[in-house]
Each structure stands twice: as C-alpha cells, then as structure tokens.
C-alpha cells in the first residue's frame, strides 16, 4: 500500500458533488492499494499514520502526532498513486489493485484508523468522483510505501 500523508490546517472532500465532508486540523491521507497487497499490512500502516510525529512540540520540533493532539483525518482512496510513468507520457495503472482487494484494503484501513484514537475520521468514497480541498500546513507531506517494509 502507498499512503501520501499531508499535515493540514483544514480539508474537505465532496463526493459526486454532494455536501463537503470536512475536518479541521489533522491529516489528509491519500491511500493507494497495490495488486500484491494483503490485508495483514493494514493495521501497521494505520498505526503508523495515526502516530506519525509531524506536528510541532513547544520547541518547534516535529515531535507530536495527530492522535496525541486530538486531531482528525480525512482518508481518500487514490489508485493513481500506483501510476507508472517509466514509459511514454500516459501513466499505466496496471499495478493498482482492482476490487474486491482494493475496496477491502481501503475499508479495513479506515476501520483501523477509526480505532486509533484520532478525534474523528472523514472519508471519500471508493471509486467515486471526488473534489478534495485542503490547506497543507507547513507544507508537510510524507509518503509511506509498505513495499519498503519488506
């Protein structure tokens, strides 16, 4: 799995033009699932995201987590994180997982993250048309690829 985590002042996502699903200070997590991923990696990734120390402490050092500070998270599925641009100018998405694996991993990640102690979780909707707005704070953006853990 691949997660792009952004520290935000606020964010929202509109699903199919509907009402925005909003968070205040916290994390936006774009989540991609690879065709070789399995559900067993989900708890570790969710814990890593919730505990990621990317917020300042009293001395201005990145030493506090969203969980510790009582912040929220917005999770959006994003198969394009597995876009392969090595050949040509049109990305190939062959490595991105297809349903049901992609849906199962996304839903399991959201479930695990909701049990991680964050103040609240909002989500996009798998496979839907979404518009994401965010104010990246810092900016701070971290990429986690679970293939690096193997």
Task: Give catalytic residue positions.
Answer: 80
Distances (CA, A) of 19 to 95, 129, 132, 135, 137: 32, 13, 12, 18, 24
Q: In a 3-state reduction of DSSP, which class is residue 123?
A: strand
The H-assigned helical ranges of the chain are 42-51, 66-69, 101-114
Answer positive or negative: Cα dihedral of 6, 67, 105, 148: positive
The values of phi and psi at residue 3, to 5°, are -125, 130
């Amino acid at each position: 799995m691949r997660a792009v985590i952004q520290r935000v002042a606020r964010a929202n996502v509109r699903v199919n033009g509907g009402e925005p699903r909003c968070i205040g200070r916290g994390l936006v997590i774009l989540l991609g699932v690879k065709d070789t991923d399995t559900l067993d990696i989900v708890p570790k990734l969710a814990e890593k995201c919730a505990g990621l120390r990317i917020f300042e402490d009293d001395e201005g050092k990145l030493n506090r987590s969203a969980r510790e500070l009582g912040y929220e998270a917005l999770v959006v599925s994003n198969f394009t994180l597995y876009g392969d641009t090595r050949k040509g100018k049109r990305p190939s998405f062959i490595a991105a997982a297809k349903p049901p694996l992609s849906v199962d991993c996304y839903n399991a990640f959201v479930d695990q993250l909701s049990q991680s102690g964050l103040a609240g979780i909002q989500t996009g909707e798998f496979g839907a048309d979404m518009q994401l707005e965010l104010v990246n704070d810092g900016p701070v953006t971290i990429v986690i690829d679970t293939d690096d853990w193997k």
